[in-house]
């Protein structure tokens, strides 16, 4: 199987269009189409369904896309390993972050990465912790920042910090700023992400240990939308200080400490225990540990 053809196929599949992929790859569309068709002929299966709006994947195409990403990623690792022979940190490193962390870490991480590893390439993906852990195991990501990571023989974890969580309300609420017990929290209408969000699972687990259930007012997947709804009076939220401080209007919100034992979200760096790490990945692990301590406010 030709690696160039695999790369072309992946880009067409991800962009859903030969036209868009042709522009992104700077390859003439007829040549791109011919290369993908040669791949289909070799595999004796149709991979893409062509229509007026672009392309969609067949079942065979979905399987190939899933595996091709991992293969191409490993090729990047090989190139990086070979570059170490000449003493350079090169190749590509792919990291994943929850959206609330990406908002405060993406810029300083990118800036430091470019300064320390100018010959390497960086990819940053946002997503839910559960989804990113799956991508780490499959090889699509090298390093992931995870909240409340599920232990697995497939990954190694480096604990970074514990973030206390707060009950977030409108600033003008009568009890704004006052500590709240877990029992009282269970009576608050929550604007909260759907499962399997890490904070949602933590709230349900800790309240369940007390024989309580959270009152779910609204399910919204997206921290900015949750905070906007809280500011509008739709309910309360359970979030970290960093999430609130990065809101569009933090002055409209108040954080109530959760009384001991409280709720704490554990942040860890995760990487594969099955695949050998490269020099670039090790340097990125150290960079992420350093910047997490500097940037994240966990008071």
Residue 172's pLDDT band, with cuts at 50, 70 and 90, is confident
Rounded Cα gap, residues 282 and 285, in angstroms:
5
Position 72 scores a pLDDT of 81
Q: 298 near 164, Cβ under 8 Å?
A: yes
CATH class of 3-66: mainly alpha
**Mean of the pLDDT values across residues 58-76?**
86
Position 156 scores a pLDDT of 93
Position 35 scores a pLDDT of 93
Structure tokens at 80: 């990086």
Position 178 scores a pLDDT of 85
Position 1 scores a pLDDT of 74
At the second CATH level, the architecture of 69-160+266-295 is 3-Layer(aba) Sandwich (3.40)
DSSP 292: H
Position 86 scores a pLDDT of 59
Q: For the chain, what are the domain ranges?
A: 3-66, 69-160+266-295, 163-265
Closest CA relative to residue 140, chosen from 10, 244, 230: 10
Q: How many CB atoms lie within 10 A of CB 171?
A: 14
Position 263 scores a pLDDT of 93
Closest CA relative to residue 130, chosen from 64, 201, 66, 203: 201
Q: Tell me what the pLDDT averaged over the chain comes to.
A: 87
Asked whether residue 135 carries a pLDDT value surpassing 50, the answer given is yes
**Mean of the pLDDT values across residues 86-102?**
79
pLDDT, tens only, 263-278 = 998 899 999 887 777 7
pLDDT, tens only, 230-265 = 999 999 999 988 888 877 888 899 999 999 889 998
Position 279 scores a pLDDT of 80
Check whether domain 163-265 has CATH 3.40.50.10490, yes or no: no
The pTM assigned to this predicted structure is: 0.66
Q: How many CB atoms lie within 10 A of CB 153?
A: 7
Q: What percent of the chain has pLDDT over 70?
A: 94
DSSP 236: B
Position 299 scores a pLDDT of 39
DSSP 197: -
**Mean of the pLDDT values across residues 74-83?**
71
Same-fold call for 3-66 versus 69-160+266-295: no
Position 83 scores a pLDDT of 63
């Amino acid at each position: 199987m030709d690696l160039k053809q695999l790369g072309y196929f992946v880009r067409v599949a991800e962009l859903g269009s030969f036209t868009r992929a042709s522009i992104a790859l700077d390859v003439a569309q007829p040549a791109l189409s011919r290369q993908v068709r040669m791949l289909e002929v070799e595999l004796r299966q149709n991979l893409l369904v062509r229509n007026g709006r672009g392309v969609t994947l067949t079942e065979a195409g979905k399987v190939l896309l899933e595996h091709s990403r991992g293969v191409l990623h490993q090729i990047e690792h090989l190139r990086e390993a070979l570059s170490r022979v000449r003493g350079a940190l090169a190749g590509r490193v792919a990291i994943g972050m929850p959206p609330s962390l990406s908002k405060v870490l993406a810029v300083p991480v990118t800036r430091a990465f470019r300064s320390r590893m100018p010959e390497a390439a960086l990819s940053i993906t946002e997503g839910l912790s559960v989804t990113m852990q799956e991508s780490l195991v499959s090889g699509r990501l090298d390093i992931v920042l995870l909240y409340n990571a599920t232990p697995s023989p497939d990954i190694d974890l480096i604990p970074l910090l514990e973030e206390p969580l707060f009950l977030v309300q409108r600033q003008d609420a009568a009890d704004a700023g006052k500590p709240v017990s877990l029992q009282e929290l269970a009576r608050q209408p929550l604007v909260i992400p759907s499962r399997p969000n890490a904070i949602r699972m933590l709230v349900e687990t800790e309240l369940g240990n007390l024989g309580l259930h959270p009152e779910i007012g609204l399910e919204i997947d997206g921290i900015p939308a949750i905070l906007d709804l809280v500011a509008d009076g739709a309910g309360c939220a359970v979030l970290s200080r960093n999430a609130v401080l990065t809101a569009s209007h933090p002055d409209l919100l108040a954080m109530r400490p959760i009384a001991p034992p409280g709720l704490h979200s554990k942040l860890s760096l995760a990487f594969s225990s099955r695949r050998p790490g490269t020099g670039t990945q090790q340097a990125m692990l150290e960079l992420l540990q350093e910047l997490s301590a500097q940037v994240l406010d966990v008071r």
